[in-house]
Amino acid sequence: MKLLFERSVPGRKTQVLPPCDVETVEIPKEYKRLTLLPLPELSEVDVTRHYTELDHQVFGVNCGFYPLGSCTMKYNPRVDEETAALPGFTGIHPLAPASAVKGCEEILQTAKKDLCEISGMDDMTFQPAAGAHGEFTGVLLIKQYHDSRGDTARRKIIVPDSAHGTNPATASMCGFEVVNVASAPDGGIDLDALESVLGPDTAGLMLTNPNTLGLFDRNILKITSMVHEAGGLCYYDGANLNAVMGLVRPGDMGFDCVHMNLHKTFATPHGGGGPGAGAVGCKAFLAQFLPHSVLMDAKDGKPAPENAAIGHGGRIQVRGFAGNFLIVVRALTYILSLGKEGIPETAENAVLNANYLMHQLEDMYRVAYPRTCMHEFVLDLQDLKEETGCSALDVAKTLIDYGIHPPTMYFPLIVHEALMLEPTETESRETLDEAAEVFRKVYQLAHDDPDYVKASPHSTVIGRPDEVQASRHPVVKYG
């Protein structure tokens, strides 16, 4: 379809503002823009038709089954959008005086109390804007803790080999050396491997539990106590909290700090890649290291301590102001709706749905770790590939033709032909039955007509794009 720029007609425009009611002032010549402003010139109808056409080429959660492992693509309640659009929230300046923002503060305080309760933490910040940003914040808590004690030899962060790529990338950004530990044959952390890397240089461990294989680590209490004994701290990556919320608390598992993806577990929409919110909770002894906003504090009469180094009285700040506030409004709406019974019920049914679907598929597809899973499971398509030549990618692309969003592919890295499925609790049994039927059909198709599968999808506006060309000869803007 056409780009905005290809629809542009010189001189066409919209009229939004009244005429200027004061004397007009021009920007001084020496600061003036000399080049043209190359934006499209369109009418309102042009704009709305364009975006409606684009919207029709997007697969959202409301379009169909979205079993994207590790992404928790659950239904996003519309009421959450409505509360987040209340003018009493959208119109509030972050630097308005404390007397004018009591409602916003009530939202943040209530969400903090509830999410601390769910995670077993004592204090929390909403400043991080995403999961990876929450990891960054959490690992900076660990760094400040060691720095504040003068324990500067702790340079290593331990990450399991099944971890999401953001974990090692985060540790690097925080100046730590990354130590990867192997998984045991049962998919959990190999305790011997962990023991061998722990020592006086251990700053901490980053762990997702259940892990990215969808397995709950049976040795979790042992793992966190081993890290603590070595003098390190334990960071809980809350990417998979949906499996256990309301049932098991990261704080009770021995974690010192945690991030929660409000855009996964607490049902706020993914928006095509964001915005999310990565609320970071911590135990009381780390609370002094949580981020602040320098201007919001100054506004409230709490100016930042001058020249104090971070970790020694100086505070960190990971983005402007209080964070993605409207995402917190949505998440709180969701928490209030579910309440104390609904939160654990959600987790239980996410796990039930995953096990139900896995059970339907396991006679045909090989499950990478065949045991009771949590909210997601991983299929290993190595056998299918050897038999038919059809890869995990080919199967994933074929699912599209049956109205199913592909599962997460080729992750975690320790399973080579991986398809990772997370159905979430918001799917009905019929949807799971239908999806299982589709998976069986595709399996059969891979044997009967592998070339067809390898050329799929066949029903979409484009076929498989040439990614090599995109990377070798980058075209990253129009014109």
Partner 1 sequence: MGTYIPSTKGERDEMLASLGLPAGEEGYRKLYSDVPESVFRSHELDLPEGMSELSVVRKMTRIAGENKTYQTILRGAGAYDHYIPAIVKSIPNKEEFLTAYTPYQAEINQGILQSIFEYQTMICGLTGMDVSNASVYDGATAAAEAAAMCRSPKRRVTLVSATTNPEVISVIRTYCYGAGTELRIVPAKDGRTDVSKLAEMLTEDVAGLYLQQPNFYGLFEDAKAIGELVHAHKAMYIMGCSPIALSVMATPGECGADIAVGEGQSLGLPLAYGGPYLGYMATTSKNMRKLPGRIVGQTTDHEGKRAYVLSLQAREQHIRREKASSNICSNEALCALTASVYMAYMGPSGMKEVAMQSMSKAHYLAKKLTAIPGVRLRYSGAFFDEFLTDMPKADAVLEALDAEGILGGLPVEEGILWCATEKVSKDAMDHTAAIVKEVLAQ
Q: Are 120 and 252 in contact (CB under 8 A)?
A: yes
Residues numbered 323-342 forming contacts with partner 1, rule: CB under 8 A = 323-327, 329, 332-333, 335-342
Question: Minimum distance from CB of 48 to partner 1 (Å)?
Answer: 6
Query: Rounded to an integer, what distance in angstroms lies between the CA atom of residue 266 and that of residue 277?
Result: 10
| Among 197-205, 353-361, 415-423, 442-450, the segment contacting partner 1 (CB under 8 A) | 353-361
- Number of Cβ within a 10 Å radius of residue 440: 15
Q: How far is the CB of 215 from partner 1 (least distance, A)?
A: 7
| Radius of gyration, alpha carbons of the chain | 25
Q: Which stretch binds partner 1 (CB under 8 A): 280-288, 384-392, 443-451, 463-471?
A: 463-471
In whole angstroms, the minimum distance from the beta carbon of 4 to partner 1 comes to: 5
Give whole-number Cα distances, 415 to 185, 410, 447, in Å.
12, 7, 22
Rounded to a whole number of angstroms, the minimum distance from the CB of residue 345 to partner 1 is: 7
51 sits near partner 1 (criterion: CB under 8 A)? yes
Using CB under 8 A as the binding rule, whether residue 142 contacts partner 1 is answered as no
How far apart, in whole angstroms, are the C-alpha atoms of residue 157 and residue 419? Answer: 28
Q: How many residues bind partner 1 (CB under 8 A)?
A: 205
User: How far is Cα 78 from Cα 81, in angstroms, rounded to an integer?
Assistant: 5
Place of tokens 């804007």: 129
Q: How far apart are CA 262 and CA 131, in angstroms?
A: 9
Question: Residue 204 in contact with residue 141, Cβ under 8 Å?
Answer: no
Could you tell me which of 164, 257, 281 has the C-alpha nearest to residue 204? Answer: 257
Among 119, 202, 346, 398, binds partner 1 (CB under 8 A): 346
| Interface with partner 1 in residues 367-406 (CB under 8 A) | 372, 396-397, 400, 405-406
Binds partner 1 (CB under 8 A): choice among 150, 363, 386, 462: 462
* Closer residue to partner 1 in complex, CB, 32/386: 32
Could you give phi then psi for residue 46, rounded to 5 degrees? -55, -45
- Nearest residue (CB) to partner 1, 16 versus 284: 16
Give min distance, CB of 194 to partner 1, in A.
17
**Residue 313 backbone zone (phi > 0: left; psi -120 to 50: alpha; other: beta):** left
34, 284, 306, 363: which one binds partner 1 (CB under 8 A): 34
Binding range to partner 1, per CB under 8 A, among 282-290, 380-388, 414-422, 456-464:
456-464
The tokens describing 273, both together, are: 């890649």
Nearer to partner 1, 370 or 463 (CB): 463
Between 372 and 382, name the residue whose CB sits nearer to partner 1: 372
Q: Quote the CA–CA distance of 99 and 447 in Å, as a whole number.
A: 68
What is d(CA 455, CA 464) in angstroms, rounded to the nearest whole number?
8
Closest CB to partner 1 among residues 252, 383 = 252
Q: Please pick, from the candidates 151, 305, 387, 478, the single residue that binds partner 1 as defined by CB under 8 A.
A: 478
| Residue whose CB is less far from partner 1, 232 or 269 | 269
Within residues 55-114, the interface with partner 1 by CB under 8 A covers 55-63, 66, 68, 71, 73-77, 79, 81-83, 86-97, 99-104, 106-107, 114
What separation in angstroms does the CA of 72 have from each of 75, 188, 331?
9, 21, 14
Q: 48 or 447, CB closer to partner 1? A: 48
Our finding on whether 307 is near partner 1 (CB under 8 A) is no
How near is the Cβ of 30 to partner 1 at its closest, in Å? Answer: 8
Whole-angstrom distance, CA of residue 72 vs CA of residue 276: 13
Report the site for partner 1 in 243-302 (rule: CB under 8 A).
244, 246-249, 252-253, 263, 267, 269-276, 291, 293-296, 298-299
Which of residues 376 and 383 has its CB atom nearest to partner 1 in the complex? 376
Contact between 140 and partner 1 per CB under 8 A = yes
Q: Contacts with partner 1 in 410-439 (CB under 8 A)?
A: 411, 425-429
Quick check: 143 binds partner 1 (CB under 8 A)?
A: yes
| Beta strands in 365-409, from DSSP E residues, in sequence order | 366-367, 377-380, 408-409
List the interface residues with partner 1, window 149-178 (CB under 8 A): 164-166, 168-175, 178
> What whole-number distance in Å separates Cα of residue 334 and Cα of residue 239?
18
Structure tokens belonging to residue 278: 């990565």
| Long-range contacts, 167-172 (Cβ 8 Å, 24+) | 167/135, 167/206, 167/208, 167/237, 169/132, 170/132, 170/135, 170/136, 170/139, 170/206, 171/139, 171/206
List the interface residues with partner 1, window 185-244 (CB under 8 A).
215-218, 220-221, 244
